[in-house]
Structure 1
């Protein structure tokens, strides 16, 4: 379980295909002296992955074929930066919202403009996630917990606007995001279960 508060930026050192799966090596120097044991969960751009090896300040992760099919992790190139968050501990401060690291789909950045000192970003997502997107609700974009300011249902799905403060733009990969790029989207966990309960009772 995660909170959507990015703890560090990592750098992809390399990737290797293994029987249809992928191994990703990430340098996580900015995590400092944090010890990550084999089997620990780490959110990489919002995707929950299991650490299979730690060597100095480099981490290795196995990425399954299923995860590759619904995320952009397979498109990461050496030198790419990624958002990192360690799994939440019971005694940690809960600063964002409940995040599972299970990506619901991809959203596309369709507009970006300055708004005072912040940056307003607009995204378009597929219709399948539209029921879970609500104004003043929460979403996770590439592992970053954000609040929805405006939601518009459109023929192609749903569009929504977010405001990112300078700190978020600096300490996450979202500051470099360009129009047309895709991001991992995870909807609010509570909304997901409420929708399932509603569908089951009908």
Structure 2
């Protein structure tokens, strides 16, 4: 479990295909990681499979992870957002984030406003029912507040406002229009929907 508060930016050092899977290596900067521990990489919960002296950490990405997330197109040199899993005594500064990506979103606009940045993303319409204005969403693992929602055909658009700290301390600043990010909607909304389904059927 994560909180969506990015702790570090790191660059991909190895992105090596292993059949239909991928071996990923990153120097995370975490000195006390353990084998089997979970780390969110661009919002995707990955398991530490190897540790080297100097801090380089390896992860194994399955075909499902590659198909579901943007990590299927990741390249050496790309900057990724990192977050270690939260402890029970940790302050929950963001929101409950599982690291289980629901889909991808495409950046359609980014404008600066009084030092902050307003970003708009196209998201699959099937995720629209889990998004509400002033609710939470995780984009590339970053806990963000939804400021606006608009619907158009099979897509809908989510708007977020990014403060300067978040802009410079995550990989959002490196995005260009047309780039994709990982999306995880609020897990509480999904559980509420599931529990209510028996009572909504005619």
**Same structural fold, with TM-score higher than 0.5 when normalized by the shorter chain:** yes
**Count, aligned residues:** 199
Residue of structure 2 equivalent to 1:41: 38
2: CA distance, partners of 1:39 / 1:110: 37
Task: Output one character per residue of 1:74-130: Cα deviation in whole Å (capped at 9) or x when no partner.
Answer: 211111110000000111111100000000110011111011110000011011101
Which residue of 52, 75, 81 maps to 2:49?
A: 52
Q: Distance in 1 between matches of 2:122 and 2:18?
A: 33
State the Cα deviation string for residues 139-198 of structure 1 (Å, max 9, x = none).
000000000011112213211110000000111001111111110000001111112222
Look up the SS of the partner of 1:99 in the other structure: coil
Runs (4 or more) in structure 1 with deviation over 4 Å come to none
**Alignment partner for residue 88 of structure 2, among 76, 87, 90?**
90
TM-score, normalised with respect to structure 2: 0.95
2:170 aligns with 172
Residue in structure 2 matched with residue 191 of structure 1 by the alignment: 189
TM-score by structure 1 length?
0.95
Does 2:161 match 1:163?
Answer: yes
Structure 1: gaps of 5 or more residues: none
